[in-house]
Amino acid sequence: MSDIKKVVLAYSGGLDTSVIVRWLQDNYQCEVVTFTADIGQGEEVEPARAKAQAMGVKEIYIDDLREEFVRDFVFPMFRANTIYEGEYLLGTSIARPLIAKRLIEIANETSADAISHGATGKGNDQVRFELGAYALKPGIKVIAPWREWDLTSRETLMAYCKTHDIPVDYSSAKKKSPYSMDANLLHISYEGGVLESPWAEAEEDMWRWSVSPEAAPDAPTYIELDFERGDIVAIDGAAMSPATVLETLNKVGGANGIGRDDIVENRYVGMKSRGCYETPGGTIMLKAHRAIESLTLDREVAHLKDDLMPRYANMIYNGYWWSPERRMLQTAIDESQQVVNGKVRLKLYKGNVIVAGRQSADSLFDESIATFEEDAGAYNQKDAEGFIKLNALRMRIAANKGRSPL
């Protein structure tokens, strides 16, 4: 008899997690609490309630977390200009710490002994969910069915459903996309199917949020973004909540063919993985944020942020959002953003995000010094001679000692 009496399951209502509900009930003889998060995946989440009820679940949580997701996770990440391995905007990675947080909150509310998730033993998500859970509740028990059971394919899962009277729409399950997909307000990811060959080009009808750059409008779209302390607070003069900002940028970006990426990335568990991503709003946000920072940040602060960003990106990708090192870095990043205020004008055209202008009351750009015209003595060009000689001194000494680079 298992000592697990109650488990909180991250539940989508799909095939995998429906099987997990019954599997937990049968193998652990426990009560299952389901938690379904709406983080902007674009699918109706309420049907998960009826599916859970049909399987005898008594405690069902369906939470709209869209604003919290963007405000407390996406926006802080973009303040750091975060990008993993030069391309990936971390759309899946950044959602996992929020789900882990809510799983633990529900476990505390319901006096559950354990949490469970549907992540496989090959991927990063198992690490992200569980590192987050252990950071927030060190003694929590985690049940990862994919590391325990012998169900290894969609066919075996569907056979399990028939054997155990699990209510599943078999016709829709069979028609399911050939890709493994994950969606939220920041992105959609695609893996599997033809994408398992790094040489195969992604099929055009795979993409959901964006038109191809070739099919995008022939005329550019201009938008203006207002920043306060590093976050976008208005688009074209209209104040918006964080989630609405991202929703709006996804629509305008997707309509202009922006945000597609085809990447071979290094998973934390050791293997390389090929995936395709649509992140139209995030692609726009990154370009705009760097533009306003270029105007407002001190040079050394900006360069230090760039030095630290890959470390910060690795922390998020590998599941360390709740770690002390990520929180320490976030404090420094957020401090730098106090002066990142102003407006950025962008031109969106056939997959490109082009900066068309930027302005800020906190700008460090001094036209009287930077000008190529008469500067009225604002900058003494003779000062550069001593500056150059002092910086060359060590190299001159080395050359005089016979250490010439030639």
Domain final residue pick, 147, 176, 205: 176
> Are residues 222 and 158 both part of a single domain?
no
3-class DSSP assignment, residue 125:
helix
List phi, psi (to 5°) of 264. -105, 115
Domain final residue pick, 176, 211, 237: 176
Single out the catalytic residue among 16, 261, 334, 375.
16
Task: Tell whether the model's pLDDT for residue 327 goes beyond 90.
Answer: yes
- The percent helix, strand, coil of the chain (3-state, each to 5) is 45, 20, 35
What percentage of the chain exceeds 90 in pLDDT? 89
> Are residues 149 and 262 both part of a single domain?
no
Whether the Cβ atoms of residue 299 and residue 126 lie closer than 8 Å to each other: no
User: What is the Cα–Cα distance from 249 to 223, expressed in whole angstroms?
Assistant: 10
pLDDT band at 178 (very low <50, low <70, confident <90, very high): confident
Q: Is residue 307, in this structure, part of any structural domain at all?
A: no
pLDDT of residue 406: 87
Single out the catalytic residue among 38, 125, 226, 231.
125
Alpha-carbon torsion angle 148, 153, 159, 164, nearest 10 = 30
Task: Tell whether the model's pLDDT for residue 285 goes beyond 60.
Answer: yes
Q: Is residue 167, in this structure, part of any structural domain at all?
A: yes
Q: Is residue 149, in this structure, part of any structural domain at all?
A: yes
Single out the catalytic residue among 49, 71, 72, 180.
180
Q: How many CA atoms are closer than 13 Å to the CA of 216, on its beta-carbon side?
A: 25
376: left (phi over 0), alpha (psi -120 to 50) or beta: left
pLDDT band at 170 (very low <50, low <70, confident <90, very high): low
- H or E element: which one contains 212? none
> Are residues 106 and 152 both part of a single domain?
yes
Closest CA to 10 of 31, 32, 42, 43: 32
pLDDT in tens, 302-315: 999 999 999 999 99
Q: Is residue 80, in this structure, part of any structural domain at all?
A: yes
User: What is the Cα–Cα distance from 139 to 3, expressed in whole angstroms?
Assistant: 14
> Are residues 227 and 120 both part of a single domain?
no
Domain final residue pick, 148, 176, 204: 176
Higher pLDDT, 406 or 307: 307
Single out the catalytic residue among 22, 96, 102, 358.
96
Within 8 A by CB and 6+ apart from 85, the residues are 263, 265, 266, 313
The partner residues of 60 in beta bridges, in order of sequence, read 34
* Cβ neighbourhood burial of 35 (10 Å; 0-12, 13-18, 19+): buried
> Are residues 55 and 156 both part of a single domain?
yes
- H or E element: which one contains 279? none
Q: Is residue 225, in this structure, part of any structural domain at all?
A: yes
Whether the Cβ atoms of residue 229 and residue 335 lie closer than 8 Å to each other: no
pLDDT in tens, 153-163: 888 999 999 99
The two structure tokens encoding residue 116: 């469970």
- Owning domain of residue 205: 183-297+340-359
User: What is the Cα–Cα distance from 368 to 189, expressed in whole angstroms?
Assistant: 47
Task: Tell whether the model's pLDDT for residue 149 goes beyond 80.
Answer: yes
How many residues are given for the chain? 406
The partner residues of 214 in beta bridges, in order of sequence, read none
Answer yes or no: 182 catalytic.
no
Q: Is residue 324, in this structure, part of any structural domain at all?
A: no
Task: Tell whether the model's pLDDT for residue 146 goes beyond 80.
Answer: yes
> Are residues 132 and 20 both part of a single domain?
yes
pLDDT of residue 174: 55
Answer yes or no: 327 catalytic.
no
pLDDT of residue 275: 96
Answer yes or no: 180 catalytic.
yes
User: What is the Cα–Cα distance from 43 to 48, expressed in whole angstroms?
Assistant: 11
Q: How many domains does the chain have?
A: 3
pLDDT of residue 230: 98
Answer yes or no: 231 catalytic.
no
pLDDT in tens, 216-272: 999 999 999 999 999 999 999 999 999 999 999 999 999 999 999 999 999 999 999
pLDDT of residue 404: 85
> Are residues 20 and 137 both part of a single domain?
yes
Q: pTM of this prediction?
A: 0.95
